[in-house]
Chains A and B, each alone.
Chain A
Amino acid sequence: MTEVTATSADAPKKAPRNQWWDVWDQFKSHKGAMLGFVVFMTIVLGVLFGPMLWHFDPTFIDIRARNQGPSWAHPMGTDQLGRDTFARMLSGGRVSLAVGMTAMALSLVVGTFVGVLAGYFKRLDGLLMRTTDLFLALPLLPLLLVIIMLFRDKLSATFGPEGGIFILMVSAIGITSWMQTARIVRGDVLALKEREFVLAARSIGTPNRRMITRHVLPNVLSPILVSATLGIANAIITESALSFLGLGFPPDFPTWGRLLFDSVDYLQQYPERVIWPGLAISLTVLSVNYMGDGLRDALDPRIRGR
């Protein structure tokens, strides 16, 4: 606080500092979060640009080069059909991360919407929270299996096999994982609603919709962002689990979960093939969790600056 005053006294004309710079400074000081950030960005950039640099086609079958160990030609070896595992990891990562982020975004939007409405409007609270409880009580994996069984063919027919299954996976994961966010957001909104600045806004005559967008949402941002980072991890794991069970994308379409599923048969002979996708999933989830941890600290103004 004193530093800020001192610098501003020296240079009063300097453009005011954005609050997000403070958040970034605090985030940088969290070692685990920075490490997670670096690892996560490496993975994201790798799967985004890797396939452009690594010119192996992940679906190209070279039956003579099958079941090879790591070498300079194939850094992660090849699978039972001679496909390059590294190329499959890169393009599989694209799908897994895309599913993870989109499903997270969907569950975040639903969860925040339900949470804010339930917390802010007392009349909707009971109904919305009982719905949330209902979704929490559903056994998720069997439910996902049923959803996929029911809708896979219809969606594949409309959007093509890959697009259809992508939409199906994202929405299935999204609508089964918004409940935690809704609960956290509702609790925060309930507490926030009693704060004096909300009363002050009411005395100004701010209507409810702008009250929510201007006063409530920015103040529940930190729990939302934290549950977002946890949500990515959760979505990637669910996608992997479904692919692992053989219910996700088509068999020739690589995702990290599918790679795991294919490699399990060869666990005894070639254990490294299970390790690669497992490592990628674990690293992503771990790095995202650390980032979430750092973000929560950085977004809390009481911790910031300490």
Chain B
Amino acid sequence: MLDDAKQPLVRVQNLKMHFPIFGGLLHRRIGEVKAVDGISFDIMEGETLGLVGESGCGKSTVGRALLRLYEATAGEVIIDGADIAHASPEELRMMRPTMQMIFQDPQASLNPRMTVSDIIGEPLREHQKGSAADREDRVLELMDQVGLNRDFAKRYPHEFSGGQRQRIGIARALALNPKFIVCDEPIAALDVSIQAQVVNLLEELQDRLGLTYLFISHDLSMVRHIADRVAVMYLGQVAELAPRDDIYSKPLHPYTQALLSAVPEPDPSIAEATDRIILTGDVPSPSNPPKGCNFCTRCPQVMDICKVKKPIFQEVEQGRFVACHLFENNEATAANAASEV
């Protein structure tokens, strides 16, 4: 599936996003929430990278920092050859059509006082010179593409169901023919039957338009359905990044194992046979993460080194990256294996 000759469309290097905490009498900076603390990954053209993790681990922050809706603290984001993280506001504006976003809450992400055609037409108005009639044609075309009735163009968002609203959001993201779309939990606010519709729509659009997705979700089975590769995040860092089939069949990182064992198994005989890994304790505060590995407070296979030294995020098998001391011993062998292949 992965073609080494291909250049990645999106390259993220050591991205950090720290939110300052102010407090005290003089409103001084007393610390920071390390929402994203040094993550790196590439996304190839036409690929879907699933980004999973529990609530509050920094998934959405990654998505927003990628499109520079937040000013990243450090790191590099290169999308389609352009450096997003250090572009000037006007340069950034010019790059906006390449990258778009689909938001989690379709209710909140649509302006309640604009009609559907105004909402979908807004990116066109901002970035294209065409006349109002051209714009209207394009809006109707987009509505067809996402499966919305053309007669609804002059309606307001509150007159639609959740699934339809999400389609409006998708049509808006598609308006400028972007290459890269960040899907920030696009299905989390929808009920299951609608989730499938929306995910299938996203896949269909990817096939037709050659889109690249960063698919942020906490729904592991949905990510298995749509993603080509999966990155597992824990407390602001990527724990494991691997092709989908590898990660679901043989998770390496203890956190990934725990996460996957929490996915409900529809077959009761299999469900009874498998032992669920139940993590104890809570996620440490991102303003004061543990000294060593971020997962060392809850890891079932914790070792002494985990509490002192941060593991390195490295390739342990072809295309599989893990940040865990359990696999660092195999470093030499893994490197050899990689060079042989």
Contact = CB atoms under 8 A, between A and B. Distances in A.
A7 interface: no
Contacts of A200: 101, 103, 109-110, 169, 172
A197 B155 CA distance: 17
Interface string A189-218: 000000111011111111100100011001
B126 A204 contact: yes
A199 B102 CA distance: 11
Nearest to A14: B151
Interface residues of B, number: 34
Contacts of B105: 196
Nearest to A192: B111
Nearest to A218: B113
Contact of B122 (A1, A199, A201, A207): A201
B158 to A, nearest CB: 6
Contacts of B96: 203-205
Interface string A212-243: 00110011010000000000000000000000
A8 interface: yes
Contact of B111 (A1, A4, A197): A197
A255 B244 CA distance: 80
B100 A203 contact: yes
Given A8-B151, A16-B154, A202-B69, A207 B113 contact: no
A71 interface: no
Contacts of A203: 67, 69, 96, 99-101
Given A1-B159, A19-B113, A205 B92 contact: yes
A15 to B, nearest CB: 8
Most A Cβ at <10 Å: residue of B110, B122, B156, B172: B122
Given A196-B108, A219-B112, A206 B103 contact: no
A205 B98 CA distance: 11
Contacts, number: 70
A300 to B, nearest CB: 10
Interface residues of A, number: 25
A195 B108 contact: yes
Nearest to B70: A199
Interface string B103-136: 1110011111111000000110011000000000
Contact of B103 (A1, A16, A199): A199
Interface string A146-176: 0000000000000000000000000000000
A204 B159 contact: no
Nearest to A13: B151
Interface in B168-210: 169, 172
B112 A207 contact: no
Given A205-B92, A205-B127, A197 B109 contact: yes
Interface string B147-163: 00001011110110000
Contacts of A12: 151
B217 to A, nearest CB: 17
A218 B110 CA distance: 13
B93 interface: yes
Contacts of B172: 200, 204
A215 B67 contact: no
A250 interface: no
Contacts of B126: 204-206, 210
Nearest to A8: B151
B127 to A, nearest CB: 7
A221 B158 CA distance: 18
B122 A214 contact: yes
A301 interface: yes
A190 to B, nearest CB: 16
A207 B93 contact: yes
A4 B159 contact: yes
A204 B156 CA distance: 20
Interface in A113-144: none
A-B complex: 4 closest residue pairs judged by Cβ atoms: A16-B154, A205-B96, A196-B109, A196-B108
10 contacts: A1-B159, A12-B151, A196-B103, A200-B110, A202-B69, A203-B67, A203-B99, A205-B92, A205-B123, A221-B113
Given A199-B69, A204-B123, 14 more contacts: A19-B113, A195-B108, A196-B104, A196-B105, A196-B109, A197-B110, A199-B103, A200-B103, A203-B67, A205-B92, A205-B97, A205-B123, A218-B113, A219-B112
Interface of A: 1, 4, 8, 12, 16, 19, 195-197, 199-207, 210, 214-215, 218-219, 221, 301
